[in-house]
Structure 1
Amino acid sequence: QSLDYDCCFNEPYIHMLEKQDSRTSSRNEAVRWVVTLFVGIFTGLVALFIDVVIKELMGLKVGIVKNCIELLSVKGYLVLSLLVLLAFNLSFTFISGLFTAAEPLAAGSGIPEVKCYLNGVKVPRVVRLFTLVCKAVGVLFSVAGGLLVGKEGPMIHSGAVIGAGVPQVTTCTLYIYRDKRDFASSGAAAGVAAAFGAPIGGVLFSLEEGSSFWNQMLTWRTFLCSMTAAFTLNLFLSGTRIEGENPSSDNTAWGSFYQPGLLTFGQFKCPEGERGCQLWTVLDLFVFIVMGVVGGLLGALFNAINTRLTKHRMKHVHNRHPAIRVLEVLLVTMVTTIVAFTAAMTLGECKEVAPIVINVTSPVEQTVQYFFCPNGTYNDMATLFFNTQETSIRQLFHQEATFSLQSLGIFFLLFFCLSCWTYGTSVPSGLFVPSLLCGAAYGRFVGNLLKMLPGFEHIYSGTFSLIGAAAFLGGVVRMTISLTVILIESTNEISYGLPIMIVLMVAKFTGDLFNHGLYDIHIELKGVPLLEWHPPHGMDRLCASDIMETSLSYIYPHTRIQSIVSILRTTRHHAYPVVTENHDSMVERRARAKANTMVSNNIKFRNENSLTRANEQMRRIMSRRSAEIKILEDQEQRSRSGSMDSRNAEEDINFTLMTSSVELYRGLSPTAEDHGFGDKFKPLTFHGLILRHQLITLLSRGVCYAENTPSSCQPTLTYEELTEDYPRWLDIHDVDLTQLHPRMIMDVTPYMNPCPYTVSPNTPVPQVFKLFRTMGLRHLPVTNDMGEIVGIVTRHNLTTENLKQKLKDSQHNA
């Protein structure tokens, strides 16, 4: 289903506008700004809740596990420590799995669903309050349970839900779906701002990955929402004392703003006393480009493996009992815990602790892990596995106490496989932070390796770690502009702008040679009709008549209740053309067209060549017959040349005719032999569109009149009454029809949209695509020069797969 962002200019809406004055319009605009402000505040508070609770749960778990390891390692009972860790992780992820079992849309990062919603696709329950609760609470336990997932991705979904939900408490929104979409865009941007401390990056994220319709006022409101979310989170974090963070502050240090977001990378600077050290030089750009290529290849490999895993899950896991999904989560948790514990115990190296500070808030002694190492040393593998992922990223960015190449390589391989397996399980799981950590390990490996070579003694390993993180994340999600700004804002180092931008572009172009970004892959696997920014190449050879739907369900301006109920119960369309039958002869139609100077001045073809629904069907039938004749000629030629067994020739011809007819012309009925062809495809003059929920609302309110009375006796509805059921529109089966006589008549003309966007049959597909996407349409009628409807274009007609198939069919018929 699609969302209709176009405004319906029916009589109730026009009367509502006429009653408004300038003060009412100003008040409505002020309410929109206030609602935007509250969306940012609530998003920041949800981010604060998620961050604080996760750190408390992680602190509780790691503290108990540390004590167990210290006590039991002396006695040789490390298996008991592993069991304690397993008990914590399995318990946490089991709780998370229960929340996603209650609301399946809470699983994953939610970014593909938000992207679909902002693109105009109606994803059921994606912006419900229950989804927000399951998402926010579920991510607490999935992250604390040791799964290789992030909390930053779900924050974007949470912000979009808040943005779509807060405006519903007001009554001042005029364009229902359009305002809801705009607030959801602002909420998604606020989620990015709260997660990364990147307000500008949040605005660009909504623009690049989300909304298809944008304007200057929406830009200002989205920026306000992002700044408000970052400020709110900053304000409360500054006064919330968490162990290990900002030790110089006290509980009353409100307003210090030392941590702009949930994920901050700290300040990049060379260690004091190290001569010749530079963050990066021009010569390093060549190395960065190579790292971008490798990052794109790794991202493409990550996406390919995850795609196969997702297809397997959709076939064998997701369509079964929810308990199977929870069991899969527990299996992934158990394997991840055992691998991390075993790698830290057997594969880690003990390194001396350097008396330095890794960022502006935490000294290195408070972030390293000493598992299985003597005093004065730390376990580099345990430091990467048993810290929060954000802390591990900062370790790789800033800690100059070198991680060994062996530990970095093993950690990268293990983390790559486990995170690829984890993403797509039935728990709230972000992709940003795991990809950043995996890429940071890859970049730190390259930096440490280069530092061993002559001529590279000046390099700063943290820079290469940052570039590696950007390369891998860009290779996975294929974001460019917004991700560049997010990383720049997170590092507070504008000098990194050029290398990050180059690396992200190289990684995207390299990965696009093999597959799409992971978010787009998951959208495609779910069969969501997402419209890209541009139609596929070669679509200028097609026009609207080649892709439109010609089998229409329509109603008349004055229709009996019985007919309306029958149409609503037997079809699932969300809009119906309002038409009248054209009984004029061809001569009268030509004369009427010539008399209408406006029509005759704008038509691009002669009147006798005007497309109608009848001759469009006849054209397709003749095309079908031509294809059948061509198949017969080809088969006959092959039979004569001796390349086909004569005994099987007739059978093969019949089979080819049957399969080609089914595949190429599926649903193109009726055939020429069908009766009533002229009656079924008679010319229909188009008057407007009426939506399904409008018809159901009119039925539920008893808007109709008896056939022996004038239509002026029909009750009227105001705009408020017409939209009273939003957003829970009634279903036709829920309407009580006992009070309505089937022979009564409904006049739909006051409630239809008399001026929807329309295109002519010969409009090129690129123009149809641009109009449909940029204006956020749901239905686009196709009318000829006589004002007769000949078809309708919907979202499914404009998907990449359908357009490519139509182009292939057109070339085949030519």
Structure 2
Amino acid sequence: MAPEAITFRGRQDGEEYEELEQIRRYEDFTTIDWIQESIAERNRRIREERARSACRGPRGEITPAWVWSQFQRLLSAGESAFVMTLVGVIIGINAALISIVTKWLSDIKMGYCADGWWLNQQFCCWEVDSDEEFCSSWHPWSTVTAARWLLYVIFAGVFAFVAAHLVRTMAKYAAGSGISEIKCILAGFVMQGFLSFSTLVIKSITLPLVIASGLSVGKEGPSVHVACCIGTVVANWFQKFSRSQGKMREVITAASAAGVAVAFGSPIGGVLFSIEEMNHIFRIKTMWRSFVCALVATFTLSVMNPFRTGKLVLFQVTYSRSWHFFEIIFWVILGIFGGLYGAFVVKLNMQAAAFRRKHLANHGVAEAVVLAVLTAMVGYFNRFLRIDMTEMMSILFRECEGGGDYNNLCQQSVQWSMVNSLLLATIIRMGFLVISYGSKVPAGIFVPSMAIGASFGRMVGIIVKAIYLTNQQSGIFSSCDPDLPCITPGTYALLGAAAALSGVMRITVTVVVIMFELTGALTYILPTMIVILVTKAVGDFIGTRGIAEETIRFNGYPILEQEDHSLDVAVSEVMKKDLTVLYASGMRVQDVGK
């Protein structure tokens, strides 16, 4: 057979194989065969190399076809960077739009702007310097308290109904956080439609509605899901990624980093989150792609500047004072709270999920509406539950001298009533979070946990400040400068938020970096590390798993976990003792039935 015929036959076989490879799809709820994927990727590279070599002349001379193949190779090399950049830009734009719409919907429950219905309270009262000053352009819906309360509850119920109805009828995978499922997808589990365009659109629309309804859920987890949807949709436009499951997973990992980055304004924290929480098998190449995607997404969000304050998130804050060593005692208390909070919420939420699956599986819309209405009815009468959680954290994190005296929060004369309000906010929000997380709407647990930790931490900070003011001559406070404020309650709110987030998610380094990027203060890295260390120790002692791992176990998704195994356990201790034995002979049918 002539060499030309052999070459032609080889190309034909390669084209047929490529066509079959494009047609082949994994079945839904199956696991990817990574060995087969690696073989297919290797064969694809071999075919491309052979095709480029065949472009040279008979004696190896350079031809126009060879030049064109080298140009295509150069474009292919830069394709990954282009895709990561494009995904990051779209994630940043989407995050900015969601933040703007969420703020407007949250404010519309309280009133409207006379200068323009499309303006939220911040933009409507842009010329007002502080929260205490009167804003003539912003009008509440009524001057009667009962009417304002009723409208507040009605808005909450309507927002929850619209969101739950859209999820049920148009994109069932838009419900929940999405982090647990994405972890399984990155491990090779196939869930067709979970990262589809319809899920992206519906979750982007319903997420602001859910947050504005006042449900005790957050947008950070769903933001990761939305970002991964964007990464999948964009990557499918390019054949290099759409035909390779491995490369597609790299894009999803990078998108998850960008989702956390825009949610917290923390690009490095987003990259660490994708390493620590999302993907157990992480390569350096994937880390750099995650960093590029997170950086571009954060830069895009910064350029759009959704809050017109230069901040990427509402609760970004800076501190001008340092801390004292005697405060470590109280930080340990915050760490213990974080560990106990994580164990409590994870256990009770799994029980609530079991109840939901058994009794409320077909009533997702009604459940969401009832939860939103109950949350609004109860939360309206507490100053810290009435406002949006991100806005509440921005208030609790502030120093009193930096415009943080919201509703007399820093006034010593009402400090104990503030303690009561913060304690009630902590308990009530914790209860609503347990029953709300997992409902059939987009729902995250990051911000609610941080809000619970912030309210508890601020309460502890106020108590510590009161102890200092009544015992200034005590030796424990000898390091305090009498001419300067000694205790900053806002820092306790920040550390409490870190403890609660670490306790429920069981992540450590990521939380430290996120808190550092939120504050920009190197001074508070050590306090954050101490709190997270205590939180982890308490969680390890109790044996708590992260909420994402427990959700995976509850839903029965397959995932291989990297667990530490004991090597000093006897084989007899792990073997089953009561065995069911089938004998080769001498058994009757009734014996087999038993």
Q: Which residue of 1 aligns with 2:213?
A: 145
Conservation of the 8 A alpha-carbon contact between 2:110 and 2:140: no
Q: Name 2:320's counterpart in structure 1.
A: 269
Q: State the 1:12 CA deviation.
A: 6.3
Correspondence for 1:519: 548
Identify the residue that residue 393 of structure 2 maps to in structure 1. Answer: 393
Q: 1:432 aligns with which of 440, 446, 454?
A: 446
My pick for the range that moved more, 223-232 or 84-93, is 84-93
Larger RCO: Structure 1 or Structure 2 (Cα < 8 Å, ≥ 6 residues apart)? 2
* Match of residue 8 from structure 1: 39
Find the aligned partners of 1:541 and 1:178 in 2 and give their Cα distance. Answer: 39
Can you list the C-alpha shifts for 1:332-390, whole angstroms capped at 9, x where unaligned? 0111111012xx2xxxxxxxxxxxxxxxxxxxxxxxxxxxxxxxxxxxx32x1232211
Work out which of the residue numbers 517, 520, 537 in structure 2 matches 1:489.
Answer: 517
Which residue among 494, 518, 522 is the counterpart of 1:466?
494
With over 3 angstroms needed to count, the CA separation of the structure-2 counterparts of 1:303 and 1:12, relative to structure 1, is closer
Alpha-carbon shift at residue 434 of structure 1 (Å):
0.8
Correspondences of 1:397-408 after superposition (within 5 Å): 397-398=397-398, 399-400=404-405, 401-402=409-410, 404-408=418-422
**Structure 2: distance between partners of 1:52 and 1:68:** 20
Note if 1:180 corresponds to 2:248: yes
Quick one: which of 161, 173, 177 aligns to 1:105?
173
Say yes or no: does 1:293 pair with 2:336.
yes
Q: Distance in 2 between matches of 1:23 and 1:417?
A: 60
Task: Measure how far apart 1:464 and its partner are.
Answer: 1.1
- Counterpart residue type for residue 425 of structure 2: F
**Residue 328 (structure 2) pairs with residue 328 (structure 1):** no
8 Å Cα contact 1:89/1:144 also seen in 2: yes
Q: Cα distance 1:25–1:263, how it changes in 2: closer, same or farther (>3 A)?
A: farther
Q: CA deviation at 1:306?
A: 0.7
User: Could you tell me how far apart the structure 2 residues matched to 1:26 and 1:286 are?
Assistant: 59
AA of the residue aligned to 1:444: R
Pick one of 423, 426, 446 that aligns with 1:412: 426
User: 1:197–1:263: 8 Å Cα contact kept in structure 2?
Assistant: no
* Higher Rg: 1
Matching residue's letter, 1:340: G
**Counterparts of 1:4 and 1:494, CA distance in 2:** 45
Query: Closer, same or farther in 2 for the Cα pair 1:211/1:184, shift >3 Å?
Result: same
In structure 2, do the counterparts of structure 1 residues 54 and 507 end up closer, same or farther at CA, with 3 Å as the change threshold?
Answer: same
Closer, same or farther in 2 for the Cα pair 1:264/1:64, shift >3 Å? closer
Structure 2 CA distance for partners of 1:173 and 1:306, relative to 1, 3 Å? closer
Alignment match of 2:50 (pick from 15, 18, 21): 18
Match of 2:189 among 102, 121, 126: 121
> Which residue in the other structure is 1:368 paired with?
none
| Preserved CA contact (<8 Å) 1:419 1:434 | yes
Q: Retained in 1: the 8 A contact 2:242–2:248?
A: no
Aligned to 1:205: 273
In structure 2, what is the equivalent of residue 367 of structure 1? none
Distance 1:300 1:170, change over 3 A: same
Q: Secondary structure at the match of 1:172?
A: helix
Q: Does 1:135 align with 2:203?
A: yes
What percent of counterpart residues are identical?
29
CA offsets, 1:405-444, max 9 Å, x none?
Answer: 1111111111111122111111111211111111001111
Give, in whole Å, the separation in 2 of the partners of 1:13 and 1:174. 15
Q: C-alpha separation between the residues in 1 aligned to 2:569 and 2:560? A: 17
Q: 8 Å contact 1:196–1:486 — kept in the other structure?
A: yes
Q: CA deviation at 1:310?
A: 0.6
SS in structure 2 of the partner of residue 385 of structure 1:
coil
CA change 1:131–1:537 in 2 (3 A) is farther
Partner Cα distance (2:579, 2:181) in 1? 39
Corresponding residue number in structure 2 for 1:725: none
1:34 aligns with 2:102: no
Using a 3 Å threshold, how does the CA distance of structure 1 residues 11 and 447 change in structure 2: closer, same or farther? closer
Partners of 2:44 and 2:421 lie apart in 1 by 69
CA offset at residue 174 of structure 1? Answer: 8.3
Offset of residue 68 of structure 1: 5.3
Q: Are 1:422 and 2:436 counterparts?
A: yes
Secondary structure in structure 2 of the residue aligned to 1:488: helix
Contact 2:315–2:397, Cα closer than 8 Å, also in 1: no
Distance, in Å, in 2 between the alignment partners of 1:123 and 1:532 is 19
| TM-score normalised by structure 1 residue count | 0.56
CA distance in 2, matches of 1:181, 1:540: 37
For each residue in 1:497-544, what CA deviation from the matched residue of structure 2 results, as whole angstroms up to 9, or x when unmatched?
A: 1221232232123123243111111111000111112464459999xx
The question of whether the paired residues in 2 share the 8 Å contact of 1:112 and 1:519 is answered with yes
Segment of structure 1 superposing worse, 411-420 or 33-42: 411-420
Closer, same or farther: CA 508–105 of 1 in aligned 2, 3 Å: farther
Distance 1:61 1:290 in 2: 37
Deviation at 1:205, TM superposition (A): 0.8
Query: Which whole-Å CA distance do the structure 1 matches of 2:451 and 2:239 have between them?
Result: 45
Q: CA 1:264–1:231 in structure 2 vs 1: closer, same or farther (change >3 Å)?
A: farther
SS in 2 for 1:329: helix
TM superposition shift of 1:624: 7.2
What's the offset of the Cα at 1:33?
Answer: 0.5
How many angstroms does 1:628 deviate by? 6.8
CA distance in 1, matches of 2:222, 2:568: 37
Instruction: Please tell me whether residue 229 in structure 1 is matched to residue 277 in structure 2.
Output: no
Amino acid paired to 1:327:
A
Describe the SS at the equivalent of 2:111. helix
Is 1:532–2:561 an aligned residue pair?
yes
SS of equivalent to 2:109? helix
Match of 2:357 in 1: 314
SS in 1 for 2:217: coil
Contact 2:257 2:290 in 1 (8 A): yes
In structure 2, what is the Cα distance between the partners aligned to 1:13 and 1:118?
23
Aligned twin of 2:58: none
Alignment correspondent of 1:72:
144
Q: 1:182 to 1:119 in 2, by over 3 A?
A: same
CA-CA distance at 1:175 after TM superposition: 6.2
Please report how far the alpha carbon of residue 69 of structure 1 lies from its aligned counterpart in structure 2 after TM superposition.
6.8
Q: TM-score, normalised by structure 2?
A: 0.76
Structure-2 separation of matches of 1:386 and 1:11 = 60
Aligned partners of 1:314, 1:263: CA distance in 2, in Å? 35
Aligned positions of 1:664-813 closer than 5 A:
none
Query: Is there any run of 5+ residues in structure 2 with no aligned partner, and where?
Result: 1-29, 53-68, 114-137, 399-403, 481-485
Aligned partners of 2:176, 2:98: CA distance in 1, in Å? 16
CA contact (8 A) 2:109 2:151 kept: no
- Pick from 423, 445, 457 the counterpart of residue 459 of structure 2: 445
> Aligned runs of 1:319-398 on 2, under 5 Å?
320=362, 324-341=363-380, 344=381, 381-382=382-383, 384-398=384-398
Using a 3 Å threshold, how does the CA distance of structure 1 residues 173 and 64 change in structure 2: closer, same or farther? closer
Partner amino acid, structure 2, of 1:517: G
Tell me, what secondary structure is at the counterpart of 2:144? helix
How many residues matched? Answer: 485
> Cα–Cα, structure 1 residues 464 and 215, in superposed 2: closer, same or farther, change >3 Å?
same
Q: Secondary structure at the match of 2:316?
A: coil
C-alpha separation in 2, matches of 1:56 and 1:288: 36
Matches of 1:433 and 1:283, distance apart in 2: 29
Contact 2:315–2:393 under 8 Å retained in 1: no
SS at match of 1:8: helix
**DSSP 3-state at the match of 2:301:** helix
Whole-angstrom distance in 2 between the partners of 1:136 and 1:174: 23
Aligned mates of 1:138, 1:151 — CA distance in 2: 11
Is the CA contact (8 Å cut-off) linking 2:217 and 2:437 kept in structure 1? yes
Aligned-residue CA RMSD (Å):
2.9
Distance 1:225 1:334, change over 3 A: same
1:506 correspondence with 2:557: no
